[in-house]
A and B are shown apart, each in its own frame.
Chain A
Amino acid sequence: MTRRTSGPARAGQYLALLAYLVFLAFPFLWLISTSFKPARELGSLHPTWIPKDPTLANYRQAFDEQPLLEAAGNSLIAALSASLVAVVIATPMAYVMARHRTLLARAATGWVVVSQAFPFVLVIIPLFLVLKNLHLINSLPGLIMVYVVWALPFALWMLVGYVRAVPTELEEAAAVDGASKLRTLVSVTAPLLAPGIVATALFAFITAWNEFFFALVLLKTPEKQTLPVVLTHFLGAEGAADLGPLAAAAFLATLPSLVLFAIIQKRITGGMLAGAVKS
């Protein structure tokens, strides 16, 4: 449909694309640039795009000021456990939701949609009270439980899409060959689903790694807190932040999710769309 686009129209398109590129990229480039600037340049009245005297001092200072490694460790534990558990329990349910059009499957689909609409405060207050009674406030297991349930809706959503993409004919053929239901699931369906399951797990990992609200409410002491919560400590009480270390820590915290996202980008968009478009 683009073969006959005229010269001026094409030029306009490139101009628009350029504007988008600038809008999307400039805050991120600025973050990176700021993180390499020495204090002297950050104090200068005329900031420059490229640090004249690039330094790693901000990164060193960031690690000195806040327990970044411990926080990254906490984030890693929380995100890894939550994504694994969520996928392990969501996959069978997604299979049933995709293959059986029962009342339960429909109710579950409805819940997946509705659960997106509730302000977290309505869920977190009771969870806070319950977890407090169980002595699970300020503990990673408590946070992981919350993350698992929070990850379930979109995990189900994505996985249902992936299951639907596996043709039922394959399962039927296996049944005709005399394979049991379980056998069919394990040796026919599961291998075809594996890439989708991995993508879903990685997506759940990224969202848990990035999550802030639940972690802010549930984790009280610095040595228990996850990376996003610890990052806010750099902002200081009155917003008087030390810009260099702040930028350095923020950039570091983003790297894992950026890398993972780059790896699974196509699958995620494909999977979410399969779920969204075909349902």
Chain B
Amino acid sequence: MDHGAWFLVLPALLPILVLSVGPLLYGIALAFTDSQSGRTEPTEWIGLLNFQDLLHDTLFWDSFRIGLLWAVGVTVPQFLLALGLALLLNQNLRLRWLARSLAIIPWAMPEVVVGIMWRLVYNPDAGILNETLSDLGFGDGRDWLTGIGTALPAVIVVGVWAGMPQTTVALLAGLQNVPRELHEAAEMDGAGAWRRFRTVTWPALKPIALAITALNFIWNFNSFALVYVLTNGGPGGRTRLPMLFAYEEAFRYGQFGYAAAMGCVMVALISVLLAVYLVGRLRGGDQR
């Protein structure tokens, strides 16, 4: 790379280093300190103490477990529904344009609005969900977002709804990579729809499907705004995702060091899980 190229790179590289890589390293370092907001004594290194405390913090592990449930609960249906929609949109159907435009709406909406919107849907009295259910004969309404058993499933539905567009669009693009000739050849050989999907479509789609699933899982695990607006972690912490927990710890209780340690644990565990998943999927694919 010549000097001219450096000149082109620096305007973006500097802010990245100063405001992104730097804070990230600083954040990791904070995890080993007793940094708190409004403390008068200087911040000190305390080594692994935060991590030791985290190990015994059942509330954190509860939130971590809820985060995993939420991430899997959102990512899997999101993928399946998006795959179905992408396959449909790839067909010559009449209302395709309408579905395409509608599928974009959740993508363009602020997450806060998505949360507010679904609160209106779930509202026990003025919401449309209970009304529809009772019209269909499923009797008494519920307070979905504040019910102990219903809160997590209810927010998961919203997560699925909100994240479907990106996944659909990515899969739709993947479908355009599927060689048409192969498809037609398979059809001539009398292969049914499922067989054609398995032998022709899926192999071509797999790389992008894998990538988008991994990314979705991470994004969902780290999500914040949607659940903050829907339940703010309630009832009784049943929907308190790790990010909500870390946010409260940092900006309500001022425990910067401790919250940073949470962030580190989240990254580490998610990376491990993801690596295991990706390696497993790739291996599984090779054997076939």
Interface 1/0 per residue, B87-102 and A, CB below 8 Å: 0100111111011011
B264 touches A34 (CB 8 A): no
A104 touches B16 (CB 8 A): no
A24-B102, A117-B267, A121-B247 given as contacts; is B5 within 8 A of A100 (CB)?
Answer: yes
A96 touches B9 (CB 8 A): yes
Partner of A1, one of B35, B184, B211: B184
Report A-chain residues with C-beta under 8 Å of the C-beta of B131: 46-47
Question: How many residues of chain A are within 8 Å of chain B by beta carbon?
Answer: 96
Decide yes or no whether A206 CB sits under 8 A from chain B: yes
Decide yes or no whether B270 CB sits under 8 A from chain A: yes
B88 touches A20 (CB 8 A): yes
- Distance, CA A139 to CA B240, complexed state (A): 29
A149 touches B264 (CB 8 A): no
Report B-chain residues with C-beta under 8 Å of the C-beta of A234: 116
Question: How many residues of chain B are within 8 Å of chain A by beta carbon?
Answer: 99
Decide yes or no whether B60 CB sits under 8 A from chain A: no
Most A-side CB within 10 Å, residue of B13, B23, B111, B267: B23
Partner of A90, one of B12, B26, B180: B12
Decide yes or no whether A243 CB sits under 8 A from chain B: yes
Interface 1/0 per residue, A120-132 and B, CB below 8 Å: 1111111111100
B116 to chain A, nearest CB (A): 4
Decide yes or no whether A276 CB sits under 8 A from chain B: yes
Report A-chain residues with C-beta under 8 Å of the C-beta of B105: 24-25, 28, 258
Interface, chain A (partner B; CB < 8 A): 1-2, 4-5, 9, 13-14, 16-18, 20-21, 23-28, 30-31, 34, 42-47, 49, 88-90, 92-93, 95-96, 100, 102, 104, 108, 111, 115-130, 145-146, 148-149, 152, 156, 181, 206, 209-213, 217, 227-228, 231-232, 234-235, 239, 241, 243, 246-247, 250-251, 253-254, 257-258, 260-262, 265, 269, 272-273, 276-277
Pairs A–B under 8 Å by Cβ, sample size 11: A1-B180, A47-B131, A104-B9, A122-B260, A126-B22, A126-B260, A231-B113, A250-B113, A253-B112, A254-B113, A277-B173
Which 9 A-B residue pairings sit nearest by Cβ, starting from the closest? A122-B263, A261-B108, A92-B8, A210-B110, A126-B26, A93-B12, A89-B11, A273-B173, A126-B23
